[in-house]
Structure 1
Amino acid sequence: MSIKSTKIFNSKQGMLIEGNSLELLESDENLSDLKGKVNLIITSPPFPLNQKKKYGNEKGEEYKNWFTKLAPIFSELLADDGSLVIEIGNAWEPERPVQSLLHLECLLGMVKHPDANLRLIQEFICYNPSKLPSPAQWVTVNRLRTVDSYTHVWWIAKNDFPKADNSKVLRPYSKSMEQLLKRQSYNSGKRPSEHQISEGGFLKDNGGSIAHNFFEMEALDEKRDVRLPHSVLSFSNTNSNDYFLKTCREKGITPHPARMSGGLVNFFIQFLTDEGDLVLDPFSGSNTTGYCAEKLNRKWVSFEIKEDYIEQACIRFSDPILKSPLKKMKA
């Protein structure tokens, strides 16, 4: 595939393309093969922050206009039963202790775009107590607000029934549920909520309980087990022991400051796709998405505009566990 890009890197399952994803997807004829073929677009685009970051981000009305323009591009790429998953943080009004509505306006702009037949399937919340206190001016300096410790994850699709199977992402049963299954009895009947609990409705072992739309990056309560799907949140951005961060330290490289959680990516890849399906990330950073897709035997295409982060993606893929390094294609 010949693409208007300075560099292309291949692995066994996928391709990392250097360049502006939106410009390439709109203008490069060779990428037209992707249209209608992508089973999952999963990404964490630059957040609408008030301060410019190294990884690039627009602000205010410019951000909303930029974000809304993604809708028809993504809609055209998705297969009819494909899904779009976007992680985005909260925004605050400049120099005011007031939360902005910008992220909500962006969501509405995307799902109501006249040239994109999209709708919000479900919202997830990703809670991370290790996030630094922000917005710092109003949390740690003036102490007027609490720590902004979560991000939104929006699951969007072209129709009401995108491919999905929650039995692939079951979480472990609670200890009380394990005991119930062992004794094969419980108090059935009508509850104060007026729900009628059948005699055998909870006696079948399904291998785990259905996942929630709230993810704890770390335990809210240290005395309570965090019951996450087995494939989910196996590592967090604060985990200093994984291969990627260890190698970055050894090479004196500062890792991408806004990496998407690998566990979060694992969850949605397994929940919304099958092996051999195509996963795309238009703003891949150090390419956590491609790494997770490779491990889970999915095809993938990622884009990244900054050479520094592509170097980090190559480090990520040099993980000996993966056995699928990124290799630069010959011109």
Structure 2
Amino acid sequence: MNTLPILKTNKGMVFNGDSLELIPQLEDESIDLVMTSPPFALQRQKEYGNKQQNEYVEWLAEFAQKLLPKLKDTGSFVLDLGGAYQKGKPVRSLYNYKVLIKFCEDLGYNLAEEFFWYNPAKLPSPIEWVNKRKIRVKDAVNTVWWFSKTAFPKADVTKVLVPYSDRMKKLIKDAEKFYTPKERPSGHDISASFAKNNGGAIPSNLLQIPNTESTSSYLKLCKELGIKAHPARFPAKLPEFFIKMLTDPDDVVLDIFAGSNTTGYVAESLGRRWISFEESLEYIANSSLRFASNASEAKEYYESILSGNSITVTAPIQFNLFQ
């Protein structure tokens, strides 16, 4: 990178600038995972900036086109996109699906798998159709597209196994009591190895992660210092899932719309190297609170960055999933 980082840690760096200008400075085939959540294509303008739906797909495609040569052949690009309605009517926008088609058919990405992030804590919206007229249900699911450069990106599902159900635990404990190995009517051959304890169950592509972090140290420090938290943060468990599944320690994780830098923070905690791009200096200063151990340190980081200085955090990061 020709540009100097604003914030450095033991494993990562945050750069201030337009990602369209910063991405070309990356070495080709140097990135293992791009994990990001760009401003969504909402009809209502948000304070963190978002494009209108009619220009969103082409706008986002510019970033994706520049990123493709920077990904390793084993690399992945995970993109979190929230849904939206068309302006003035209770009809869903197709922008997030148009992004999917654009990336695959025009830019050359592969859709490794589609994921859906279900946030049970999401407030009912949009107000007009859900709360007032009551003709639509709450929109509580984001589409998360897992793109890859080739058909065989690095991936290991055994790193993200989920706890067995109570029924499966009973089956493992006493398999003969619950089932007889044989071919099922569906054609599946359920053998005796089905009852083997593999340490957990394979997760589905529906990720249930509530976006609640009211007790996080990040929010506590924001409140204590009178600093407004970033208005659009995804929960740490979302990037954690994909970083664990798609990378190994010391692999490089990139977020081109860093915001409050949840991705960088989680990557650091998991022993991955990371790079974050963010256009707003204020958001970078805000994100530095994630790496502070107390209010005094947080204030020092925040004020230093806002003054245009670069900072280095050398203390090890204590990972808290709710931060």
Q: TM-score, normalised by structure 1?
A: 0.86
- CA-atom RMSD in angstroms: 2.0
- 1:290-301 equivalences under 5 Å are 290-301=264-275
Quick one: which amino acid aligns to residue 297 of structure 1?
G
Q: 1:90 aligns with which of 83, 87, 90?
A: 83
Could you say what secondary structure the match of 1:202 adopts? helix
Gaps of 5+ in 2: 312-323
Deviations 1:268-309 (A, max 9, x none): 001000000000000010000000000000000001111221
**2:40·2:81 contact (CA, 8 Å) conserved in 1?**
yes
Quick one: which amino acid aligns to residue 237 of structure 2?
G
- 1:206-221 equivalences under 5 Å are 206-218=198-210
Aligned to 2:314: none
Aligned to 1:47: 40
Aligned to 1:246: 220
Aligned to 1:233: none
Distance (Å, rounded) in 1 between the aligned partners of 2:2 and 2:65: 24
Distance (Å, rounded) in 2 between the aligned partners of 1:126 and 1:71: 21
Call closer, same or farther: CA 1:136–1:124 in 2, change over 3 Å: same
1:148 aligned onto 2:139? yes
Aligned to 1:137: 128
1:180 aligned onto 2:180? no
- 1:71-82 equivalences under 5 Å are 71-82=64-75
Higher helix share: 2
Quick one: which amino acid aligns to residue 196 of structure 2?
K
Quick one: which amino acid aligns to residue 36 of structure 1?
E
Q: 2:156 aligns with which of 129, 148, 165?
A: 165
Distance (Å, rounded) in 2 between the aligned partners of 1:317 and 1:248: 12
Distance (Å, rounded) in 2 between the aligned partners of 1:8 and 1:254: 20
Q: 1:57 aligns with which of 38, 50, 53?
A: 50
- 1:105-144 equivalences under 5 Å are 105-113=98-106, 116-144=107-135
Distance (Å, rounded) in 2 between the aligned partners of 1:117 and 1:62: 20
Quick one: which amino acid aligns to residue 203 of structure 1?
A
Deviations 1:112-161 (A, max 9, x none): 22xx3311110111111211211111111222211111101110001111
Distance (Å, rounded) in 2 between the aligned partners of 1:203 and 1:132: 40
Moved over 4 A (4+): 325-328
**1:121·1:160 contact (CA, 8 Å) conserved in 2?**
yes
Aligned residues: 300
**2:212·2:235 contact (CA, 8 Å) conserved in 1?**
no
Aligned to 1:205: 197
Quick one: which amino acid aligns to residue 200 of structure 2?
G
Q: TM-score, normalised by structure 2?
A: 0.88
